[in-house]
Chains A and B, each alone.
Chain A
Amino acid sequence: MSQFVEALLLQSGYNAALVTIGAALLGLVAGGAGTFIFLRKRALVSDAAAHATLPGVCLAFMAMVAFGGDGRSLTGLIVGATLSAGLGLYLVEWIARSTRLPEDAAIGAVLSVFFGFGIVLLTFIQTMTAGRQAGLEGFLLGSTAGMLFGEAVTIAVAGCAAALALFVMIRPMTLVSFDPEFAATTGIDVRLTDLAMMALALVVTVVGLKIVGLVLIVALLIIPPATARFWTERVDHLVLIAGAAGGCAGYVGAALSAAIAQMPTGPIIVLTSFALFALSLLFAPSRGVAASLYRHRSFEIRVHRRQGLLAMARGEAIYDHFTLRVLRRAGLMRADGVATAKGLEAADKALRDEARWEIARQTHDEEAAVGRYDGLTPIEDVFTVDEIAMIDRRLRERTGGAH
């Protein structure tokens, strides 16, 4: 525990601190960049791109070794990763466009073939003498071991560039995510915008390979915006909250994995991210599960209360146990089933409002107002005092006429 606190406070060594800061930055950018992948429903495509980085990483390593380098230069590996992910993305698009295969089949095929090829190359590299110390397997699930200052700077620089690009292109991206047809009619190049979104995700993917690993990086892109979606109804806020959630998960997750020996960084960050997601899912106001259960329950209670009151006013027997319970709890009915004074008053009012609504529906042209008749909306919410007085006059005329 104390080790975890130390790691959180960046006190558990230079390397751990570097990784923690790097992971936080990465989470921040991934959350922001992932927002549009999430809104455009492209999560699977970005997962395919992430898996497609592996052969590139391996080939880049082999090329660098072949030319006499030590093969571990992050820049070189990133270039390789970008090229092969780009090729993977192109193949997905090409297959979906020029064959009759659906896109998900194309994604599945590209993802597994590239990943499989990458694993073959990785196994081969590990038989090479230079390969054993390379630690390339860290690219699969991420590792905190041996992060260099230069690598943290790479993440920071790429992160700033991605954030800036996001800021500049947020409007076209929003428009394309919501309504691509309309976006096209205003002159936005939808394909180019999609490409820009994917490029942003790709930047995050390749700089995040070392920390989170290619298998799970898609979680960093998708879980934070999914988390943020519970808290807001605006795209700009979604980007900010997703960034914050991602940054938070990266920071805490990396600190956790630094504190506990042999813990893989990527999975821990993903699980931390998921914890935030689960909390939001359960407890977010309005969109959360708890809030929606509460809303549904109180709606049920309103329906039963109203029905019970109307039955009471008409002198009908009530058999529904839930209705009886609702009425008793509200003090409208005594335990023996006899209406209280308060209950009688409420029942009279309910019946009167029903009659008022009937008049309103017959006489009012205002469809919008009459359209709100659902048996539950109080009539005072829809009509003004004067209008209700008018309705009451009509009501008296009619009952007067009947006598």
Chain B
Amino acid sequence: MIQAGVRALRRGAGLLWLARARSQPSTGAGALDACPLAISGLSVSYGEKPAIFSVDVEFPSGSLIAIVGPNGAGKSTLLKAALGIIPKLSGRVEVFGKSIDDARGNVAYVPQRASVDWDFPARVIDVVMMGLYRTMALFALFGSAERQRAMACLERVGMADFADRQIGQLSGGQQQRVFLARALAQDADLYLLDEPLAGVDAATERAIMDVLKGLREEGRTVVCVHHDLATVRDYFDQIVFVNVRKIASGPVEDVFTDENLQKTYGGRLAATHIDKLRVAAE
């Protein structure tokens, strides 16, 4: 009878999840034939003004992809709409050939660091474990298995020594690493990151890029909203230019051109960016 009660409670609490985790082992994106993320005709608006308009783009599997565009161009909106956490006006999003709600267990998201209140009562390890909530039985207390998984993720981002630190005491770069560790704990095949390199120190930038490149080596797909045009060539294989509409997308060597920069950023702004890139290249 007690068991029946516990089962009923689990079902009750499961209501808070739209779709409970399926026992769906992560296989590495290479093993999955379907495109990790295919977006077609996607439009989203805040009020009467479209934030993104009729965007079609397919993200090839096993690659490291930058979404680039000026401020307010709808880069973050594109990610959030792809994740189905803001309502879309029109369009389709397919994740590994399925609807996003059926693929949640296979997608990890790193929001902008500034989007949360870091004075929240939690330790570093607690935040990383949040990446495991979905797959955990409701009544399972955090056992050593979960803790070990979370610690391994912290290890990967170089934050293992900070596991018991209060999150309010972290620097910006450390906060970003913790968010990345939480996404690693989700063990997904598609990673969507919103400006993971914004405002972090050089050591953190290197550490984060090492982890992201590692994910790519494992055949996973990594999509970053990125703001620093100077590092695009070094860091990414693929690029998507966005300014409300999709301007261009494809391999960095083909698409990262002055012409596309011009189209995305508009006349003067693009000229300054292009000049800076020239200087950086020389």
| Docked pose: A192 CA to B18 CA in angstroms | 10
Contact B134 A234 (CB under 8 A): no
Measured in the bound complex, the distance between the Cα atoms of B138 and A169 in whole Å is 8
- Say yes or no: A188-B18 contact (C-beta < 8 A), given A168-B9, A234-B126: yes
Chain B proximity of A242: nearest CB distance (Å)? 11
A234 to B186, CA, bound (A): 21
A17 at the interface (CB under 8 A from B): no
**Cα distance A60–B153 in the bound complex, in angstroms:** 56
Q: Does A132 contact B (CB under 8 A)?
A: no
Residues of B within 8 A of A185 (CB): 83, 85, 104, 107-109
Give the chain A neighbours of B21 by CB distance below 8 A. 187
Of A189, A233, A371, the residue contacting B123 (CB under 8 A) is A233
Q: Is A187 in contact with B115, judged by CB distance below 8 angstroms? A: no
Given the complex of chains A and B, what is the CA–CA distance between A267 and B15 in angstroms?
Answer: 38
A229 contacts B109, C-beta separation under 8 Å = no
Cβ of B10: which chain A residues have Cβ within 8 Å of it? 168
| CB pair B16 A181 closer than 8 Å | no
Q: Least Cβ distance of B226 to chain A in Å? A: 19
In the bound assembly, the distance between CA atoms of A367 and B134 in angstroms comes to 36
Binds B, one of A19-27, A172-180, A311-319: A172-180
Say yes or no for A184: interface residue by CB 8 A criterion. Answer: yes
B19 — which chain A residues lie within 8 A by C-beta? Answer: 187
The answer to whether B111 and A179 have CB atoms under 8 Å apart is yes
Contacting pair A196 B120 (CB below 8 A): no
CB of A236, distance to nearest CB on chain B (Å): 9
Which residues between 121 and 162 of chain A lie within 8 Å of chain B, taking CB atoms?
A: none
Known contacts: A179-B111, A179-B116, A181-B85. The answer to whether A196 contacts B16 by CB under 8 A is yes
Provide the bound-state CA to CA distance between A185 and B93, in Å: 14
Q: Is the CB of B121 within 8 A of A367?
A: no
Contact indicator per residue, chain A 175-219, by CB within 8 Å of chain B (1) or not (0): 101110110111111001100100000000000000000000000
Give the chain B neighbours of A196 by CB distance below 8 A: 16
Closest Cβ–Cβ distance, residue B100 to chain A (whole Å): 9
* Residue A235 is within 8 A (CB to CB) of chain B in the complex: yes
For chain A, the count of residues having a C-beta within 8 Å of the partner chain is 32
Q: Which of B120, B121, B133 contacts A172 (CB 8 A)?
A: B133
Contact A187 B134 (CB under 8 A): yes
Whether the pair A178, B85 counts as a contact (CB closer than 8 A) is no
**Interface residues of B toward A: which range?**
35 or more
Cα A83 to Cα B182 in complex, Å, equals 41
Checking B18, B120, B166 against A187 with a beta-carbon cut-off of 8 angstroms, the contacting residue is B18
Bound-complex Cα distance A196 to B12 (A): 11
Q: How far, in Å, is A234 (CB) from chain B's closest CB? A: 6
Query: Is A238 an interface residue, CB under 8 A from the partner?
Result: yes
Residue-wise, chain B 69-90 has the 8 Å CB interface mask toward A (1 for contact) of 0000000000010011100000
Which residues in window 8-53 of B have CB below 8 A to A? 9-10, 12-13, 15-21
B227 to chain A, nearest CB (A): 19
Identify B133's interface contact among A175, A189, A232, A238, CB under 8 A: A175
Q: Most chain-B CB neighbours within 10 Å: which of A168, A187, A193?
A: A187
Q: Considering only CB atoms, which chain B residue lies closest to A35 in the complex?
A: B121
Closest residue of chain A to B115, judged by CB? A181
CA distance A238 to B12 in the complex (A): 24
User: Which among B17, B121, B203 is the interface contact of A238 at CB below 8 angstroms?
Assistant: B121
A402 on interface, CB distance cutoff 8 Å:
no
Residue A39 lies at the interface, judged by CB distance under 8 Å to chain B = yes
Knowing A172-B16, A182-B130 are in contact, say whether A368-B203 is a contact too (CB < 8 A): yes
List the B residue with the shortest CB-CB distance to A177. B120
- Interface presence of B155 (CB below 8 A): no
Please indicate the chain A residues that have their CB under 8 angstroms from the CB of B101 in the complex.
187
Q: A179 and B12 in contact (CB under 8 A), knowing A234-B121, A235-B121?
A: no
A229 touches B121 (CB 8 A): yes
With A169-B16, A187-B101 given, is the CB distance from A181 to B130 under 8 Å?
no
Least Cβ–Cβ distance between B125 and chain A, in angstroms: 10
User: How far is B138's CA from A179's CA once the two chains are assembled, in angstroms?
Assistant: 19
- With A and B bound together, what is the CA distance between A196 and B16 in angstroms? 9
Closest A residue, CB atoms, query B164: A233
A187 with B138, Cβ < 8 A, contacts A193-B16, A233-B121, A233-B123 known: no
The 4 A-B pairs with the shortest beta carbon distances in the complex, nearest first, are A184-B85, A185-B109, A168-B13, A187-B104
Residues of B bordering A, CB below 8 Å: 9-10, 12-13, 15-21, 80, 83-85, 101, 104-105, 107-109, 111, 115-117, 120-123, 126-127, 130, 133-134, 136, 138, 166, 182, 186, 201-203
Q: Contacts A187-B101, A187-B104, A232-B121 known; list 17 others, CB within 8 Å.
A: A168-B12, A178-B116, A178-B120, A178-B127, A179-B115, A185-B104, A185-B108, A187-B19, A188-B16, A192-B15, A193-B16, A196-B16, A233-B121, A235-B122, A237-B121, A367-B202, A368-B203
**Chain A residues packing against B (C-beta within 8 Å):** 39, 164, 168-169, 171-172, 174-175, 177-179, 181-182, 184-189, 192-193, 196, 229, 232-235, 237-238, 367-368, 371
Listed A/B pairs (9) with beta-carbon separation below 8 Å: A181-B111, A182-B109, A185-B104, A185-B108, A186-B17, A187-B20, A189-B18, A229-B121, A367-B203
